[in-house]
A = this chain, B = another copy of it.
Amino acid sequence: MGKGRLEAFSDGVIAIIITIMVLELKVPHEPSLEALAPLWPVFLSYILSFVYIGIYWNNHHHMLHAVRHVSGGVLWANSHLLFWLSLTPFTTEWMGENHFARVPVAIYGVGLSMNAIAYTILVRVLVSSHGHDSEFAARIGSDLKGKLSLVLYISAVALSFVSPWVSLAIYFAVALIWIIPDRRFERGAA
């Protein structure tokens, strides 16, 4: 079974997720910079989530490029990932509108953790459908960066009750780690 439509459908869903988040930036009534300024927490949340969704699209793109065939289980693991990603506009808006209060910052981190877990499940399903001694499995390797990210997300969820700003800093730090595209697949494709 071809992977073309899986890529097209994922591209569509991810493109919509990344774009509808801008609807959360509610236009202020007054035409002044003073009226614009209070939007900064929503805008900062938007930037963070735009980067994260961009990272997932980027890594999804790289990984699918290396995929040889797609099974029924892969379709469902992919839908499962899209489900958690689709909740990002919700967690983003809640965190932004509440100016990075503890609970919404923690829930945002829970969302990031679920995205990471769903991505790992997709990787596992793909590895097992290609075989553990396949070229695909060799390229995935130990996925140290993925495991480290999950540990950092969970730490940030816990730390949000100490200081939500520390958690936010961790979310941005992990995003920075990932902006470097996944070399495993780029090397393989080169």
Chain A 36-61: CB-based contact to B (< 8 A → 1; otherwise 0): 10000000000100100010011001
Given contacts A1-B186, A61-B5, A79-B58, contact A90 B11 (CB under 8 A): no
From B18, B103, B107, contact of A86 by CB (8 A): B18
Given contacts A22-B90, A27-B94, A186-B1, contact A72 B181 (CB under 8 A): yes
Residues in chain B near residue A94, CB distance under 8 A: 27-28, 31
Question: What string of 1s and 0s marks CB contacts (under 8 Å) between A108-126 and chain B?
Answer: 0000000000000000000
- With a cutoff of 8 Å between Cβ atoms, the chain B residues found around residue A17 in the complex are 19, 22
A32 CB within 8 Å of chain B: yes
Query: In the complex the two chains form, what is the Cα distance from A86 to B53 in whole Å?
Result: 14
Of residues A14, A27, A64, which shows the largest number of chain B Cβ atoms within 10 Å of its Cβ? A27
Give the residues in chain B near A189, CB-CB below 8 Å: 1
Tell me, in angstroms, the Cα distance from A181 to B125 when the chains sit together: 15
Say whether, besides A22-B87, A31-B102, A103-B33, A7 and B7 are in contact (CB < 8 Å): no
A25 at interface (Cβ–Cβ under 8 A)?
Answer: yes
Contacts of A12 in B (CB 8 A): 11-12, 14-16
- For the complex, give the distance between the alpha carbons of A2 and B3 in Å: 14
| A2 proximity list for chain B (CB < 8 A) | 65
Which residue from chain B places its CB closest to the CB of A22 in the assembled complex?
B86
A180–B71 alpha-carbon span in the complex (Å): 11
A101 within 8 A of B: yes
Q: Can you name 8 A-B pairs with beta carbons within 8 Å?
A: A1-B62, A8-B11, A9-B11, A16-B19, A20-B20, A27-B97, A54-B76, A58-B75
